Amino acid sequence: MSKDSPLKRAVQSVSGRAPKPEPLSYARSAPSRHGKKGIVIYVDPSVAKRLRQMALDHGTSLQALGEEAINGLLAKYGEKPIA
């Protein structure tokens, strides 16, 4: 059994020999990401550069551009927009 195996941590937490660790689900993410699911798409580097430049040119973020694009796609198919 490795030094930090999940089984060893579970046994220690039940036995009271080690403090229960904090959940890591949100420990490394911004509060604005809590309760949300990430979606990744892969594009050519030139497309990524164009999108970053578009965000800069329009004073917005890639997140906002992505949400706008998703809303356009949802509207095209007659679905409710995202918040």
Q: What is the C-alpha end-to-end distance of the chain, expressed in Å?
A: 47
Tokens of 78: 């007659």
Question: In 1-83, where do the E strands start and end?
Answer: none
* Greatest Cα pair distance in the chain: 58
Tokens of 6: 């999940």
List pLDDT tens digits, range 56-71: 999 999 999 999 999 9
pLDDT at 16 over 80: no
Task: Residue 34: count other Cβ atoms within 10 Å of its Cβ.
Answer: 9
Average pLDDT, the chain: 85
Domains and CATH numbers, the chain: 6-76 (1.10.1220)
Q: What percent of the chain stands above pLDDT 90?
A: 55
